[in-house]
A = this chain, B = another copy of it.
Amino acid sequence: MGKSRLEAFSDGVIAIIITIMVLELKVPHGVTVDALLPLGPVLLSYVLSFVYVGIYWNNHHHLLHAVQGVGGGVLWANLHLLFWLSLIPFVTGWMGENHFATLPVAAYGFILFMCSIAYMLLVRFLTRHQRENRALAEAIGSDGKGRLSTVLYAAGVALAFVHPWLGFAVYIGVALLWFIPDRRIEKRLA
């Protein structure tokens, strides 16, 4: 079964997720700089989530590029990833509007943690499914970066209860780690 419609549907959902987050940036009633200031944390939260959803789109793009066909289980593993990604706008808004309070920052990290678990499951379904994808499996190797991120998200959730900015700093760190798409796949394919 072809992968093009899976890509198209995922692109659609991810495009909507990345765009509806901006709706949390509610138009202020005033026209002064003071009216804009409360939006600062919301914007900061939006920027981080935009980068994260962008990272997932980039990695999803690279991952499916290396795959030749998808089976039934993959469709559900992909929907499972999209489900957790779809909760990013909610935790983004909650974290931003509450100026990075403890629980929202921890919840944000929890959703990132679940997204990374869902991504790992998708990789596993794809690599198990077909012969051709074994090359991909080798290319991904032990996937240390993915596992490290999952551990770091969990650490970020825990650290948020020490101080929210510690958790937030961890999320920024992981985002920087993933900013560059997986060169291993690109190299192996080239």
A binding-site residues for B, Cβ under 8 Å = 1-2, 5-9, 11-20, 22-25, 27-29, 31-33, 36, 47, 50, 54, 57-58, 61, 65, 72, 75-76, 79, 82-83, 86-87, 89-90, 93-94, 97-98, 101-104, 107, 179-181, 183, 186
Of B1, B11, B22, B54, which contacts A76 at CB under 8 A? B54
Copies in the complex: 4
Complex Cα distance, B71 from A58, in Å, reads 11
Taking the nearest CB of chain B, how far is it from the CB of A152, in angstroms? Answer: 21
Of B17, B58, B93, B94, which contacts A19 at CB under 8 A? B17
Complex Cα distance, B97 from A165, in Å, reads 33
Of B2, B6, B17, B86, which contacts A50 at CB under 8 A? B86
The secondary structure that dominates the A interface is helix
Which B-chain residue is minimally distant from A8 (CB atoms)?
B11
Complex Cα distance, B179 from A16, in Å, reads 24
Complex Cα distance, B8 from A12, in Å, reads 8
Of B5, B18, B75, which contacts A181 at CB under 8 A? B75
Taking the nearest CB of chain B, how far is it from the CB of A167, in angstroms? Answer: 14
